[in-house]
Amino acid sequence: MKVYIKNKFLSLRGDSAILDENLQPIYVVEGKLFSLSHMKKLYDRNNNLLYIIKNRVFNFFRYKTYIYDQDHQLIATIKDKMFNFKREYFIEGCEDEIRIEGKFIGLTSKIIKNGQVCGIIRRKITFLADAFELEASEEDMPFMIAVVIAMDNLIDKKQAENS
């Protein structure tokens, strides 16, 4: 299954629309206007909260982003290495071993779960806002969308602090 994640250009909160292959909305990401952690919430088309994504506020050498379930229980932490030459990011706290390989800000990254590719993230070059194409299985899709949103948050924070 493929979905398209499009950050809204004129959104002060960091909202995004998630569209299916027919460009119909299937998920929504809503950000919070004033949030040090860049909190975002992922909802399904029935407005049910699925995941909450937050950045770690202070980062010393390692950047982290957290994914919580709808009950505000931490279910995953995405982090990079102190010296990230291979451009790998690791997802901890899950039953499975999951990592993201490739330059997330480049054109293509792979989500590796237990040694097997379970998702492909393709960055779409747009003039106005970030956009991604995500290919993953339908049952994994909500969590994989949360991973892409978390990675986008992490990279945005990393770039803002390093510029």
Task: Render 63-98 in DSSP notation, one character per residue.
Answer: -EEEEEETTS-EEEEEEE-SS-SS-EEEEESSSS-E
Return d(Cα 24, Cα 7) in angstroms, integer.
15
Q: The pTM is what?
A: 0.86
The gap between the terminal CA atoms of the chain, to the nearest Å, is 36
Tens of pLDDT along the chain (163 residues)?
Answer: 999 998 765 555 568 889 999 999 999 998 876 666 678 999 999 999 999 999 876 666 677 889 999 999 999 998 876 665 567 788 988 888 898 888 655 678 899 999 999 999 998 877 666 789 999 999 999 999 999 998 888 777 676 666 6
Question: What is the fold of 2-162?
Answer: Porin (2.40.160)
Residue 37, pLDDT score: 61
State residue 156 phi and psi, 5-degree precision.
-60, -45
Strands (E), the chain: 2-7, 16-19, 25-31, 40-44, 49-55, 64-69, 74-80, 88-92, 98-101, 108-113, 116-124, 131-136
- Residue 54 CB neighbours (<10 A): 21
Please give the pLDDT value at position 118: 93
